[in-house]
């Protein structure tokens, strides 16, 4: 409670100080877009055509690089905390940031970079995913709600499209460094130029951190030690989350053509804990991903036609390095003792080739018709695994305490080498009924080689009710394709099921956007989010483990409120509040809060200076009936960033978790006191434009 009071007092003081008026010639470099710019901002995420944000047939948020810079965010996960209805949950395994929309699972979020899905066949975002550095981001386009009628699989509860700084978009060349807490060091460079009519863009970032080291009182082995009078657990102790990363991107554009290539990797990555929340000091993992895309866009292909085409290739690799230590040294079960613990070395690689073409036909009065088709070939082509427990390559149980055994190319490896093929078709009609009314109707058909077809329609009616009020009514279906892990891979917790169908959803949104004055904008979104065929591991008669199955239904209803207020030319406020009502059934996501709020202020208090302060609040989270622990306390985390600009130089200092709040991530009973989030930390940053 003391932390909350400190935060409130700080906000009151900031409001008092903000009454002073100072000129700031460069304030627009940091503050959010003006209301006029915001309303007229164009986006393509909700349709295949550019539309003004005010008339987009979806609940859409656009975040610019100026917004990102002002808040001091360094990673995609940081900036998403300010989006209504979005929560970032930290997974104890690898300290991965998982993105949740409207109380849904993270696997029901579609993440794209420049329109290309960033996912894999086994673990969706990637088993070692660490988010994206903000130095590469030009803007972020977000749909809260279904997107499968446009983008296909996994656009179940929300869609993120990260638009990077590419050829023609990089106006200034820049070099920068950032250093801060947890022995974190980051450096990046960006450069844009034109040579012989070709626009060229290049960005690169190198990142190194020891990671924050949360202190864990008890882990998944602790209770077992208490039961069996053993001492194998490494808790209490700190968990290590260090890693190295690099992100390199190149783009080339001329006329209607654009080439984009990017490479990202993580090395020496410490996962800290296993998926069962057991200390793992052994793993130093790595991964790499590269994408190559060739794009064609011709707005003058024909007087009545625009044409788009895209050909892409993606390759990614994973390695657990020396292996996951799934159980600690000295672990004992009914098969015997494991002096080195239970070890699991894994390596895999997959590739994807995708092609899509679409056209916009405007030859019918008041209609814009989009039609397109595509094909994707996804191949998990390399799987290797070595284990010292479980079944060996001959199906015989391995003796306890033995060496690692190769079970690659057998039925007992963690996944089969398999290929998935997807064909899709889509059609959409944007009908301008009148100056005030616009109706969007469309559907997409996807056919999967491993689980069959799915059909997802949507309908949206946009009414410019008045000069100041826009009303939207939207309904859409969406789906999540079952992962290879659910279809084919046996884990320590569940058996696969190759007869799975897709998860499905039906969402109804009612949205109001009201410009109360030239300086104040308000919005209200109401939604009803119904999920069906939810995939869950359940007990099956005659089986020794749970098995993944399509099970029941779950409904989430919610309200999202947003406000933007330009108090003065040099002072801007924004904020939002979300509340959800989930069915109290076996599908409720207890890891997420049902209420969250965000408030932000930007103040140009002197020429060349900008101060940003923002706070996130999460309501307390109850426990399921099987968990006797008290509810997880709510928390209020405040971040602040001070930025100074002088000619080509820019300097910033940022403090995260300013009041050093003891905030915790909801965890299973294996981490009895839940996962501590980072304490107060800071960074300083220097940029030079040339």
* pLDDT tens-digit map of 618-671: 999 999 988 999 999 999 999 999 999 999 999 999 999 999 999 999 998 889
CATH of the domain at 208: 2.40.170.20
Mean pLDDT for the chain?
A: 91
Residue that has been written with the tokens 């915001």 in this structure: 38
Statement: residue 100 has pLDDT above 70 = yes
- Concatenating the DSSP letter of every residue in 257-322 gives EEEEEEEEEEEEE--EE-TTS-EE-S--EEEEEEEEEEEEEEEEEETTEEEEEEEEEEEEEEE-TT
Task: Render pLDDT for 462-477 as a digit per residue (tens, 0 to 9).
Answer: 999 898 999 999 999 9
Residue 33 lies in a domain: yes
Q: State residue 5's pLDDT score.
A: 42
Q: How many Cβ atoms are within 10 Å of 125's Cβ, its own excluded?
A: 21
Please indicate, yes or no, if residue 290 is contained in any of the structural domains: yes
Q: Please, are residues 545 and 512 in contact by the beta-carbon 8 Å criterion?
A: no
Lookup: tokens for 526: 């109401």
Cis-peptide into 554, omega within 30 deg: no
Distance separating alpha carbons of residues 207 and 175, to the nearest angstrom? 14
Which residue in 499, 488, 493, 152 sits closest to 348, CA to CA? 488
Q: Give CA separation, 190 vs 71, 164, 207, 291, in Å.
A: 20, 11, 15, 19
What confidence tens digit (pLDDT) does each residue in 529-586 have?
999 999 999 988 877 789 999 999 999 999 999 999 999 999 999 999 999 999 988 8
Tokens 């906000």 belong to: 11
pLDDT in tens, 239-257: 999 999 999 999 999 999 9
Token digits of residue 46: 């909700």
Render the burial of 361-383: b for 16+ CB within 10 Å, e for the rest.
Answer: ebeeeeebbbbbebebebbbeeb
By percentage, how much of the chain surpasses pLDDT 70?
92
* Residues sharing a CB contact under 8 Å with residue 655, sequence separation 6 or more, in sequence order: 639, 640, 641, 680, 681, 682
pLDDT (0 to 100) of residue 20 = 35
- Rounded to 5°, angle at Cα 318 from 315 and 320: 175
Q: Given pLDDT bands bounded at 50, 70 and 90, which one contains residue 40?
A: low
Residue 575 near residue 563, CB atoms below 8 Å: yes
Residue 690 is encoded by which pair of tokens?
């040339």
Burial of 660 (0-12, 13-18, 19+ CB in 10 A): middle
**Structure token digits, residue 528:** 């009803």
468: left (phi over 0), alpha (psi -120 to 50) or beta: alpha
Question: Tokens for 666?
Answer: 């909801």
CB 287 within 8 A of CB 318: yes
441, two tokens: 């109707």
Q: What is the pLDDT of residues 107-125, one digit of tens each?
A: 999 999 999 998 899 888 7
Q: Does 44 score more than 80 pLDDT?
A: no
> Could you tell me which of 584, 619, 616, 585 has the C-alpha nearest to residue 598?
616
The runs of H, that is alpha helices, within 460-592 are 484-488
> 3-state SS of the chain: helix, strand, coil percent to 5?
10, 55, 35
**Residues with Cβ < 8 Å from 144, sequence gap 6 or more?**
59, 60, 61, 83, 84, 85, 86, 101, 102, 158, 525, 527, 560
Residue 2: its pLDDT value, please?
43
Instruction: Give the 3-state DSSP-derived string for 253-275, with helices as H, strands as E and coil as C.
Output: EECCEEEEEEEEEEEEECCEECC
pLDDT at 247: 98
Rounded to whole angstroms, the Cα distance separating 478 from 614 reads 33
552: tokens are 């029941």
Residue 252: inside a domain? yes
Nearest to 264 by CA among 312, 212, 322, 203: 203
Rounded to whole angstroms, the Cα distance separating 343 from 323 reads 6
Distance CA 312, CA 644 (A): 41
Q: What is the pTM of this model?
A: 0.91
Residue 1 lies in a domain: no
Give the position of tokens 């009628």: 149
DSSP state of 151: H
Distances (CA, A) of 566 to 76, 411, 469, 519: 25, 62, 18, 5
- Provide the 8-state DSSP code for 390: S
Report the domain count for the chain. 1
Does 465 reside within a domain?
yes
In a domain, 3, yes or no: no
What's the CA gap between 130 and 99, in Å, rounded? 11
148-165 residue pLDDT tens: 999 999 999 999 999 999
Flag whether 249 is in a domain: yes
3-class DSSP assignment, residue 571: strand
The single-letter DSSP state of residue 126 is -
b or e along 25-35 (b: 16 or more beta carbons within 10 Å of the residue's beta carbon)? eebebbbbbeb
β-pairing verdict for 494-495 and 546-550: parallel
pLDDT tens column, 390-437: 899 999 999 999 999 999 999 889 889 999 999 999 999 999 999 899
Asked if the structure places residue 95 within a domain, the reply is yes
Pairing of strands 86-91, 60-64: unpaired
DSSP state of 44: -
- 537: domain range? 8-689
Task: Quickly tell me which residue has 């003006």 as its tokens.
Answer: 34
């Amino acid at each position: 409670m003391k932390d909350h009071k400190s935060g409130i007092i700080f906000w009151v003081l900031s409001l008092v100080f903000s009454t002073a008026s100072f000129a700031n010639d460069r304030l627009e470099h940091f503050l959010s877009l003006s209301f006029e710019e915001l309303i007229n901002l164009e986006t393509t995420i909700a349709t295949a055509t550019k539309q003004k944000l005010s008339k987009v047939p979806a609940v859409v948020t656009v975040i610019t690089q100026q917004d990102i810079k002002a808040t001091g965010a360094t990673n995609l996960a940081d900036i998403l905390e300010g989006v209504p209805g979005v929560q970032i949950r930290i997974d104890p395994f690898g300290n991965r940031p998982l993105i949740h929309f409207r109380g849904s699972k993270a696997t029901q979020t579609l993440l794209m970079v420049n329109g290309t899905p960033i996912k894999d066949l086994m673990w969706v975002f990637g088993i070692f995913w660490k988010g994206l550095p903000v130095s590469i981001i030009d803007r972020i386009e977000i749909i809260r709600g279904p997107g499968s009628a446009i983008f296909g699989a996994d656009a179940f509860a929300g869609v993120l499209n990260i638009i990077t700084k590419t050829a023609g978009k990089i106006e200034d060349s820049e070099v920068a460094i950032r250093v801060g807490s947890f022995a974190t060091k980051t450096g990046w460079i960006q450069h844009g130029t034109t040579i012989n009519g070709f626009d060229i863009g290049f960005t690169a970032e190198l990142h190194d951190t020891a990671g924050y080291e949360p202190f864990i009182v008890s882990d998944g082995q602790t209770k077992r030690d208490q039961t069996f009078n053993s001492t194998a657990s490494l808790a209490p102790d700190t968990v290590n989350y260090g890693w190295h990363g690099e992100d390199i991107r190149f783009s080339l554009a001329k006329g209607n053509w654009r080439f984009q290539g990017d490479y990202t990797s993580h090395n020496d990555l410490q996962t800290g804990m296993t998926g069962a929340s057991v200390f793992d000091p052994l793993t130093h993992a790595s991964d790499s991903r590269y994408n190559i895309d060739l794009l064609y866009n011709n707005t003058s292909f024909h007087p009545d036609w625009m044409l788009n085409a895209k050909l892409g290739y993606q390759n990614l690799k994973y390695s657990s390095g020396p292996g996951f230590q799934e159980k600690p040294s000295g672990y004992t079960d009914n098969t015997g003792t494991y002096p080195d613990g239970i070890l699991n070395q894994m390596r895999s690689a997959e590739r994807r080739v995708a092609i899509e073409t679409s056209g916009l036909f405007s030859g019918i009065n008041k209609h814009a018709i989009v039609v397109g088709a595509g094909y994707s070939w996804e191949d998990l082509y390399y799987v290797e695994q070595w284990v010292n427990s479980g079944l060996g390559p001959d199906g015989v149980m391995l003796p306890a305490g033995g060496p690692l055994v190769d079970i690659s190319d057998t039925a007992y490896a963690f996944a089969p080498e398999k290929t998935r093929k997807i064909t899709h078709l889509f059609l959409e009609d944007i009908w301008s009924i009148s100056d005030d009314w616009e109706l969007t109707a469309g559907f997409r058909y996807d056919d999967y080689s491993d689980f069959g077809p799915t059909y997802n329609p949507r309908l949206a009616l946009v009414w410019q009710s008045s000069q100041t009020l826009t009303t939207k009514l939207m309904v859409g279906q969406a789906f999540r394709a079952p992962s290879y892990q659910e279809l084919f891979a046996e884990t320590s917790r569940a058996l696969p099921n190759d007869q799975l169908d897709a998860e499905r959803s039906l969402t109804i949104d009612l949205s109001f956007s009201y410009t109360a004055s030239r300086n104040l904008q308000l919005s209200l979104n109401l939604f009803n989010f119904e999920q069906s065929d939810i995939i869950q591991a359940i007990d099956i008669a005659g089986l020794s483990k749970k098995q993944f199955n399509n099970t029941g239904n779950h409904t989430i209803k919610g309200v999202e409120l947003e406000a933007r207020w330009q108090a003065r030319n040099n002072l801007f406020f924004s904020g939002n509040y979300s509340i959800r009502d989930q069915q109290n059934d076996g599908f409720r996501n207890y890891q997420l809060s049902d209420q969250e709020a965000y408030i932000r202020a930007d103040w140009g208090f002197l020429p060349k200076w900008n101060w940003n302060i923002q706070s996130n609040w999460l309501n307390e989270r109850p426990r399921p009936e099987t968990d006797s622990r008290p509810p997880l306390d709510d928390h209020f985390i405040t971040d602040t960033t001070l930025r100074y600009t002088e000619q080509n130089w820019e300097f910033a200092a940022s403090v995260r978790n300013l009041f050093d709040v003891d905030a915790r991530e909801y965890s299973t009973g294996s981490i009895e006191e839940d996962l501590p989030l980072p304490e107060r930390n800071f960074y300083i940053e220097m940029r030079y434009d040339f």
